Every structure is written in structure tokens, then in C-alpha cells.
Amino acid sequence: MNDTITTSPEVLRAQMVDRITAAGWARSRAVAEAMRAVPRHLFVPDAPLPDAYADQAIITKRDATGAALSCASEPIIVAMMLDQLDVQPGDKILEVGAGTGYNAALLAYLTGQDGQVTSVDIDPDVIARARHALDTTGNTRVHVVTRDGTLGDAGHAPYDRIIVTVGAWDVPAAWWEQLVPGGRLVVPLRWRGQTRSIAFDRTGNVLRSNSVHLCGFVPMVGQEGERTGHIDPGGEVALYWDEDQPIDPASLRAVLDQPKTTAWSAVTVGPEEPFDGVWLRLTSTDPVTCRIAAAPDAVKTGLCTPAIPVRSPALVEDTSLAYLTLRRLDQNGSPGSAWELGAIGHGPAGEQLADRLCDQIRAWDQSRTGQPVITAYPAGAGRDEPLDGQTIHKRGTVLSVSY
């Protein structure tokens, strides 16, 4: 076999797209064609060629602590969001978060000669690298500019589509103002400790979700609406919550040392079966939903054992909490055995909170693939209709999540 041929960029790129389509993304012919045409390796020149087409994100800039500041997203996430965006030839598009320039090149391919793509980023180094890669690959028509992404780019507005490729906590006023009526905004929006890529369609003064998918992104600079704090003396267990929630980690400092109550839901999942929908459903029903994260030592000692240690949903009220947990049903631990979902509660209301969480596990089990309707209004604006479900107040947006 000729290794030069089998490891060529063209073959690796074709294999990448085949994996993406097999997973159910790049659903439109146009998105698949764009991903087959645009050479991703030229946008991540420091990465080994196989890595450029692997199922992984590539970090392109870190801060002094090693935290990621910019990256090339995992290709399947890129395809998912392009599916959500539904670009049409001739569209005017704003991209918030320039990254490597790869996504802008895909957008330019999708919009065609009559379209327009503007990409903004707050980091001049990121913009410079994106500009160089775009020019190198012949995408000279893409407009890139260094500016705060929350401001958009009024000079090239209005836009038929806006896509945000950094994690956003809010929908700032500029995005509302620069999106045409009937336009679409795709944004990785964070609330109650979890992030979902939402395709919002604009009707009048309302954004209403068309699709919602789990994702994770480097957070946008300057949107500090999420709070965090440790709830144990050793700093091994942390909560993450939104600023509109009255959560005080100091009042929970010893809660994990109190007796625990464990409730089981009788709902099971397979070893590879997702259950993130439980968290999403909780955000539609319980205003005290947040995120809990336990360090390895906390899990090892049994201090805190969330279903997914680094990120699991929790309910917090005053001096009590409950969090999602699980147990393997086969005590021998065979690889294919099922897991049962449940909740562990601590504090005076821990048992009630655990029961509430289990109620939502069972509700999710009745419709595991059900999608919520997420509706957003500009904060302070008059509304044409009442909000259903849970209302979440952000600085620029009032959000509701309902099933």
C-alpha cells in the first residue's frame, strides 16, 4: 500500500467527512461538499496532518495557566452548527469568534460569490492568524476585524445569519439589532451550568429555538454571568451557577459532611447512552438547577460522587443540595452492563431535592429525544406573549425553557 496516498490531505479529509455523515451530521449536501473542499490542515499548520482531520479539537492559543483561549473546534461540532445555520447562497453572515479561519472559509464556500462573510474576534493575534490562513487558501473576500464580538460589526450589517463560535452566556443587544427579521442566530449558549448550541429564528422581537444540541466551547471574553465557589474545606467540590440564582457556597461549606440520602429512579442507560437530556429538562422545571464538579480525590473518598464528576446537574436550596449520580447494575462490572440513574441529597432538604431530581429523570425517560422550546426576548423589552416554563434572567436577555 502506498502510504503517501493513504495519508494525503485529500484522503484524510474524505475520511473525516465520511465519519461525520455516518454520525448523522453534514446532513445537507452543501455542508458535506464544503467540508470536502476546504483544506482544514492549512488552517492548523502546526498540527500533524492526521490530527488536522481527526475527531478532536485543536488548541491554537493558551493563556499563562494553560487554559485554552482559542481553538479549531472538533469537525463534527463544526458540521452540526453549519447544519443548524442552514446557510443559503448569497447570505450575509456574521461569525463571532474567528478561530483559525476554517469556519469562515466553510461559510464563504456555502454563501458563494454573491454572499458576504464577516468574522470578528477580540484577540488581534487570532485575527492575524485567521487572515493569513484565509488569504493562503484563496478566501480573500472574507472580512475579518479585531473587535469585541458582543458588538458584532454594524458596518456590514444587517445579517441573514449570525453564528457564534465561542461560548456565550448572553445574547447581547448588537446581535439582536444586526440580525434581519426572519434571520437565524446559532449560538453556544450557557445557562444553569451547561452549554447548548441553539439555532434561534427571529420573529419580530422574539428568538425561538429551531434546534438544540449539547456542545462545549471556549468561553467568550467579557461575559461573566456565571458564578463559582467551593462547598468543602478542601476545595475539592465546586458549584457553578448563574447570577440570577440566590446560591451562597459559604452556607453549604459543610453540607457534604452531613448524612446523605440516596434516591434511585429505576431509569437505566447503557454504557454509551447519553443522559444529558436530564440536565436540560431540569433547567425547564427547577429554578435551583446548577452544576456540580468533583475532583478525583473527592470521588475516590466518596465525599461527592456525581454521575460525571467534572460536570453534573445539581439542585441547591439554602443549606441543602442534591446531585445526579448513577450505579452499575451488574456488580461484576461487565463492560456492557446498564447503569441506573439517581440522586444523592445532603442537608435538611436533601431528601426532597433528591426526589425532585429523580422525578425529572423519570420525565426525561418518557421522551428521551424530546426537544425543548427555548424562547428569548431582549431584557426590558415588552413581550407579545407570556413566557412558559422556567424564566432565566440574563443581562441582555430573558430566556425561557419549556417542554
Do 96 and 163 form a contact (C-beta atoms < 8 A)?
yes
Determine the pLDDT at residue 386.
54
Taking each helix axis from N to C terminus, what angle separates 102-111 and 75-85, rounded to the nearest 10 degrees?
30
The percent helix, strand, coil of the chain (3-state, each to 5) is 30, 35, 35
Domain ranges of the chain: 3-214, 226-366
Cα separation, 350 vs 396, whole angstroms: 34
- Say whether pTM exceeds 0.95: no
CATH topology of domain 3-214: Rossmann fold (3.40.50)
Q: Which residue has the cell 461527592?
A: 304
Cα separation, 100 vs 247, whole angstroms: 38
**What's phi and psi for 213, nearest 5 deg?**
-140, 145
> Is 67 exposed, middle or buried (CB count within 10 Å of its CB: 0-12, 13-18, 19+)?
exposed
Do 169 and 226 form a contact (C-beta atoms < 8 A)?
yes
Closest CA to 41 of 78, 10, 6, 2: 10
Determine the pLDDT at residue 61.
75
> For 44-143, where are the alpha helices, taking DSSP H only?
49-52, 75-85, 102-111, 124-136
Name the residues annotated as catalytic.
Answer: 73
Determine the pLDDT at residue 175.
97
Contacts of 265 (CB under 8 A, 6+ apart): 340, 341, 342, 343, 358, 361, 362, 365
Hey, what long-range contacts does 132-137 have (CB within 8 A, 24 or more apart)?
A: 132/101, 133/42, 133/43, 133/45, 133/100, 133/101, 133/102, 133/105, 134/101, 134/104, 134/105, 136/42, 137/38, 137/39, 137/42, 137/43, 137/101, 137/105
* 10-residue averages of pLDDT along the chain (403 residues): 64 96 95 98 95 91 74 93 98 96 98 97 95 97 96 97 96 96 97 97 95 89 89 97 95 95 97 95 96 98 97 98 95 82 98 98 96 92 63 93 93
- Checking DSSP bridges between strand 260-269 and strand 143-146, what pairing results, if any? unpaired
H-run or E-run covering 32: helix 29-37
Whether residue 372 is preceded by a cis peptide bond, meaning omega within 30 degrees of 0, is no
Cell of 346: 445532603
**What is the distance of C-alpha 153 from the center of its chain?**
23
